[in-house]
Amino acid sequence: MGRQLSRMGAPFRLPEWSALALIEAPQFVSAAHDAFIAAGAEVITTNSYAVVPARIGDARFAAEGLRLADLSGRLARAAADRAGGHVLVAGCLPPVFESYRPELFDAHEAPAILDVLVAGLAPHVDFWLIETQSSTAESGVAMAAALRRSSLPIWVSYTLRDEAGRQGPAQLRSGESVEQAVALDLGRGAQTICFNCSQPEVMNAAVLAAAATITAAENGAVRIGSSAVRIGVYANAFTPEPVTREPYAGISEIRQDVSPERYVQWALEWVRSGATIVGGCCGIGPEHIAALRARMG
């Protein structure tokens, strides 16, 4: 969403990121949703990723956080309804402090922030997408917040260490193994496990680890209600992010080699390894979604 807004000419800068368009020019958010739906997306995500104090400031979040979360939900719901009812709306519950920084997570402060997001989004979404999570501690608090106020299905999506997974086991940015995370989330009741906002090259190792863990749990028949647990992937097109303890100083560069055609080849590999949901994160545009749709139907 953020990079698509930037490409479309919407207000876009740090620290507000994608929330700036929501605040100043929400028509761009609607247009971005419409563009992805026109490309063939069956799931769109609320533009609530940056509706957190770390992005919009403590004072603005206290005064407007609930309204902005509600607006992000309304805009996504309206776009899905315009499409005729075949598009699902994912309610984005993001990292509430800093992306990729598991050491900054505060389990005592997070619930109050998440409660605002859940309250604003709940009337408009079909399920919760707890995304770009760097640790199981982070995802666990978000799952609890979602469950306190609704009974909607829960998808959990982890971001991975870009420096791992290419030639070794995939790891969350916390250093936890994918197997640990998946096993824990199966017990917590997640219906879908995803991996997002990491390099396409590291995703397949995570899919294989998740598939093996799910299979081992109940001989391949892990079930929540009547639906088998699913695996999803939506990678980014960022250049590799450096391992750092400093806040991000600027907007990450987009790789020039992640063409729609190449992205489809990665996605086909993920599907062969067990993924049944594919999409795109930062830098993956409607043209990539259209290519996925054309190839996979």
Instruction: Tell me the average pLDDT of the chain.
Output: 93
Q: At what angle do helices 286-296 and 260-273 cross, to 10 degrees?
A: 50
Q: What is the mean pLDDT of residues 152-169?
A: 88
- In tens, the pLDDT along 124-156 reads 999 999 999 999 999 999 999 999 989 999 999
Structure tokens at 104: 């900054």
Q: Return the pLDDT at 15.
A: 94
Q: Provide the percentage of residues in the chain whose pLDDT is more than 70.
A: 93
Residue length of the chain = 297
Give the whole-angstrom CA distance, residue 254 versus residue 58. Answer: 30
Q: Return the pLDDT at 85.
A: 86
Q: What is the mean pLDDT of residues 20-38?
A: 98
Ordered domains of the chain (ranges, CATH): 2-242+252-296 (3.20.20.330)
Residue type, 59: A
Give the whole-angstrom CA distance, residue 17 versus residue 13. Answer: 5
Strands (E), 38-82: 43-45
DSSP 11-46: ---TTTTTHHHHHH-HHHHHHHHHHHHHHT-SEEE-
Give the whole-angstrom CA distance, residue 69 versus residue 86. Answer: 23
pLDDT at 225 over 90: no
**SS3 track for 225-283:** CCEECEEEEEECCECCCCCCCCCCCCCCCECCCCCHHHHHHHHHHHHHHCCCEEEECCC
Q: Any idea which of 65-79, 175-189, 208-222 has the lowest mean pLDDT?
A: 208-222
Structure tokens at 283: 């830098």
